[in-house]
Structure formats: structure tokens, C-alpha cells
């Protein structure tokens, strides 16, 4: 396979092509195919962009029909029929049935754009600058979002101090039995704690890049109550955990809370086209016309496939139930793999929610050894966490059971070979 120009010209900053150094040409649901015809099962799925798999027939047809009809591809943020249809689908299929009345801001098309827009709005509304975020949180790498991202790998490359956020331990960070919401409560109540009164609290319900760390339902509910009590906006970063990944469309539905703002991106277009939105309680929409702009705000192709996916997958609870069923299959198998590793003297445990799952093997080298071997056997799978110590499952939610089981067999075999 010819990789010469790729190796020569592309910046050293590249990431995933290092783990999977081959050239991909085609993809279908949970399969990726290389130029020389090798088939891989995709357990990475664009880091959570492809929740509905690659080239889903319903979405592909919607896209082809739209392009064939000379539909508007780009219209800045002008009104288009595609935008109207997306908002109708969002309201009818997702928001209304959940009793939500959010307004929608389409910022630039990436996750970090949504975070920037949300925290800027929170600052504008409150007149305060500080954002509380959490250890191991990942919210993107543009300057504002970076300040709320924990990992020093990204922060150290900023070139400027990453300012505007203060970190509090996430659920479980201090070990079992230490209540980090109580800690935040104490900091907020004590004018001498050193915590600048925040504009907002920004949190992932299940930390993705930080190592597949699910906050407990109770912790999320108490964090929500704390924000209400202290009149601080609660922003949920649902960029990776949203769009069904945890078994509900919004990950915070498990906790029955209604955040003040929600950031979505990754799987929102459903087809891999970049797309992001910020949902906000209506009274928070204090933007002045064109006060926050961008050339690519809401992409028509993303509206088309995004709307088609909402209607196809979320009109009843069939898809939800199927995600939870598959999630349990992965959970059980990962628990078994971790238990076997512990028998062999390794500290390993399973964690996650829905189909966002991982096996923490406490060592980036071990996790890497497992995923590299999996790649050789036809499985694309990545690690996450501060040192890459978690082998993670982010397979398409639409994966066929046969493929899911084949992939789990590959992981089990290679985990057993490494953790022996």
C-alpha cells in the first residue's frame, strides 16, 4: 500500500493513523475496508461520530436524494428547508416527548465550537468568568474549551496560559466514599476557598477521552441540585455520550435532570458530516443578533441526515432498548475479561454506561499491547484515559450481533494473551 505521501506531507501532529497505519477506502455499518481489501470491525467509529454506523442506507439515500435535487449545500445561517426540517424533527422526536423546550444555537461545526459558544454565553449572562470543570474532563482544544480540559498533553501545547476554569474532582476521582459534590458545595459556600464564583459548571456524564468514567446517577442529581441552589448554570457536554451512546438520546436522561445548556456534536449529523449545536433554556438565549458568528453554522447536509436519523431511530424506544441490550453483552464480556486478568494478578476492571464501555488495565502499555494485537486481527479499537490505560468500546450502536461477538472474541483472546 502506498503511504509515502501521507507519511511525508502530513504533520507529525497526526494521531489515529499511528495506531492504524493502513489506507482505508470504504466502509459499511461496522466494517472498514482497506485499499488492499482487508476488512476491519470498527470499535472506534470516529470516536463516537458514527453511532449509526458507516453509510447507513436510510441516511445515504436522504443525502443522495438531497444532492440530486440541487438542495442548498451551503447557505451561511440563512433559513433553508433543510434547517427547518431538522428543527421540526428535533422538536417532535426528541425535545417534546421529553418535555424539553430548549432553543438551539448552531455554532461552528465541531464539538469544541459548541463548548466555546456555551461557556461564552454563560459568561455573558452571569458577568463572571470562571467555569468549574472536572478532573479528566475533555471538552476540546480551542482556547476556551482547552481551559476546561484536564489533560496536560493538550494544555501544555497551548502557547498561552489556558485560563478561565478551575478543576474539581470528578465522581470517584478521590476513591470510593469521598463525595466530590460535597467538596464543591463547601468551596462554593466558603468565600475564602479560593474558588472564583463560577458562571457555569461544565461536565460530561460519562467522561469519554478521560477514560470512560461514568458519574453515578446520584452524583449527577446532586450536582444538578447544587447548581440550582447556588444559581450556577449547568452545562452538559454530551458531545461523545449523547446521540444514544449511553442508551438514551441524551446521556443526562438517566439522571432525570434538565441541564441549562447541552452541547452536542460528533454523531449529531448521523453521517459523519461535521455538525454541532448548543441547546439552552429559552430565557438563556441572550445573544444579540450576529454577536457570535462563523461561516459554517449548521451544515445543510448535516441537517438532512441528522433529521433523517432522528426520525428513523428515535420515533419509538426500539433503538434505545437495543443499545441497552448490546451494552449488557459488552458489559458482561468486559467484566469477564477483567475478572480473568485479576486472577492473573493484574488490577483490571470494567466500566461504562450503555455502549460506552471500557476495560481499565491501569497501564497504557498493557492497553496498547492489547489494542495493537486486536488491530492485527481485524479490529479497530482505541484506548483512552490520562495514560491510555483504558481499552474502550465505541462501536456503532447499529452493529450486528455477529460482528459485536466476533469483536469481543478478539478482545478477549488478546487481553488474555497480554494479561497473563
Ligand X SMILES: *Cc1c(COP(=O)(O)O)cnc(C)c1O
Query: Which stretches of the chain bind ligand X, using CB under 6 A?
Result: 110-112, 115, 138-140, 204, 208-209, 237, 239-240, 265-266
172/348 with CB nearer ligand X: 172
Measured distance CA(42)–CA(295) in Å, rounded: 32
110/398 with CB nearer ligand X: 110
Grid coordinates representing 100 are 424539553
140/214 with CB nearer ligand X: 140
Grid coordinates representing 175 are 476513591
Phi-psi region of 189 (alpha: psi -120 to 50; beta: other; left: phi over 0): alpha
**Minimum distance, C-beta of residue 174 to ligand X, in the bound complex (Å):** 22
**Minimum distance, C-beta of residue 145 to ligand X, in the bound complex (Å):** 7
Residues 262 and 250: beta-carbon distance below 8 Å: yes
**Minimum distance, C-beta of residue 342 to ligand X, in the bound complex (Å):** 29
**Minimum distance, C-beta of residue 240 to ligand X, in the bound complex (Å):** 3
Q: Which residue has the cell 477521552?
A: 209
139/297 with CB nearer ligand X: 139
**Minimum distance, C-beta of residue 360 to ligand X, in the bound complex (Å):** 18
Residue 107 exposure: Cα atoms within 13 Å on the Cβ side: 24
Measured distance CA(207)–CA(167) in Å, rounded: 14
**Minimum distance, C-beta of residue 345 to ligand X, in the bound complex (Å):** 33
**Minimum distance, C-beta of residue 51 to ligand X, in the bound complex (Å):** 12
204/224 with CB nearer ligand X: 204
Measured distance CA(375)–CA(377) in Å, rounded: 5
**Minimum distance, C-beta of residue 169 to ligand X, in the bound complex (Å):** 18
Pairing label, strands 349-353, 382-384: unpaired
Grid coordinates representing 212 are 470512560
Query: Nearest to residue 292, comparing CAs of 80, 103, 113, 38?
Result: 113
Q: Which residue is nearest to ligand X (CB)?
A: 111
In sign, the C-alpha dihedral spanning 23, 26, 27, 32 is negative
Helix (H) or strand (E) holding 183: helix 180-189
The burial class, CB within 10 Å (0-12 / 13-18 / 19+), for 42 is: buried
Residues 379 and 43: beta-carbon distance below 8 Å: yes
254/312 with CB nearer ligand X: 254
**Minimum distance, C-beta of residue 110 to ligand X, in the bound complex (Å):** 4
111/211 with CB nearer ligand X: 111
53/242 with CB nearer ligand X: 242
Grid coordinates representing 216 are 453515578
248/333 with CB nearer ligand X: 248
Measured CA to CA in angstroms, residue 161 lies from 127, 136, 164 at distances of 21, 18, 9
**Minimum distance, C-beta of residue 252 to ligand X, in the bound complex (Å):** 13
Length of the chain as a residue count: 420
Measured distance CA(384)–CA(197) in Å, rounded: 31
207/414 with CB nearer ligand X: 207
Residues 193 and 205: beta-carbon distance below 8 Å: no
Amino acid at each position: 500500500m502506498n503511504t509515502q505521501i501521507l507519511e511525508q506531507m502530513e504533520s507529525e501532529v497526526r494521531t489515529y493513523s499511528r495506531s492504524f497505519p493502513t489506507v482505508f477506502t470504504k466502509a459499511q455499518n461496522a466494517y472498514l475496508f482497506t485499499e488492499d481489501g482487508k476488512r476491519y470491525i470498527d470499535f472506534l467509529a470516529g470516536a463516537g461520530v458514527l453511532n449509526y454506523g458507516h453509510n447507513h442506507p436510510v441516511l445515504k439515500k436522504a443525502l443522495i436524494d438531497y444532492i440530486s435535487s440541487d438542495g442548498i449545500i451551503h447557505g451561511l445561517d440563512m433559513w433553508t428547508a433543510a434547517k427547518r426540517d431538522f428543527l421540526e424533527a428535533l422538536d417532535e422526536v426528541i425535545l417534546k416527548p421529553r418535555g424539553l423546550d430548549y432553543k438551539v444555537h448552531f455554532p461552528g461545526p465541531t464539538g469544541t465550537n459548541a463548548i466555546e459558544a456555551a461557556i461564552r454565553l454563560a459568561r455573558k449572562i452571569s458577568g463572571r468568568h470562571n467555569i468549574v470543570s472536572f478532573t479528566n474532563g475533555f471538552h476540546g482544544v480551542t482556547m476556551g474549551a482547552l481551559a476546561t480540559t484536564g489533560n496536560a498533553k493538550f494544555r501544555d501545547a497551548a502557547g498561552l496560559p489556558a485560563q478561565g476554569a478551575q478543576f474539581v474532582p470528578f465522581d470517584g476521582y478521590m476513591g470510593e466514599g469521598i463525595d466530590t459534590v460535597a467538596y464543591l458545595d463547601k468551596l462554593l459556600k466558603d468565600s475564602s476557598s479560593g474558588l472564583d464564583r463560577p458562571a457555569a459548571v461544565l461536565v460530561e456524564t460519562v467522561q469519554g477521552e478521560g477514560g470512560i468514567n461514568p458519574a453515578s446517577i446520584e452524583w449527577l442529581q446532586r450536582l444538578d441540585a447544587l447548581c440550582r441552589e447556588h444559581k450556577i448554570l449547568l452545562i452538559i457536554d454530551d458531545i461523545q455520550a449523547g446521540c444514544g451512546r449511553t442508551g438514551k438520546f441524551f446521556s443526562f436522561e438517566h439522571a432525570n435532570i434538565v441541564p441549562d445548556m447541552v452541547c452536542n456534536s460528533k454523531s449529531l449529523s448521523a453521517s459523519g458530516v461535521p455538525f454541532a449545536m448548543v441547546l439552552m433554556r429559552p430565557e438563556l438565549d441572550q445573544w444579540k443578533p450576529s454577536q457570535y458568528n462563523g461561516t459554517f453554522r449548521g451544515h445543510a447536509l448535516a441537517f438532512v441526515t441528522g433529521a433523517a436519523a432522528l426520525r428513523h431511530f428515535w420515533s419509538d424506544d426500539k433503538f434505545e432498548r437495543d443499545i441497552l441490550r448490546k451494552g449488557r453483552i459488552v458489559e458482561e464480556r468486559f467484566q469477564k475479561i477483567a475478572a480473568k486478568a485479576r486472577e492473573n494478578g493484574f488490577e483490571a476492571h470494567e466500566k461504562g454506561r450503555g455502549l460506552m464501555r471500557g476495560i481499565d488495565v491501569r497501564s497504557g502499555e498493557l492497553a496498547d499491547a492489547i489494542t495493537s494485537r486486536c488491530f492485527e486481527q481485524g479490529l479497530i479499537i482505541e484506548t483512552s484515559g490520562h495514560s491510555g490505560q483504558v481499552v474502550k468500546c465505541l462501536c456503532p450502536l447499529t452493529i450486528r450481533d455477529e460482528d459485536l461477538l466476533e469483536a469481543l472474541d478478539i478482545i478477549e483472546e488478546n487481553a488474555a494473551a497480554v494479561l497473563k
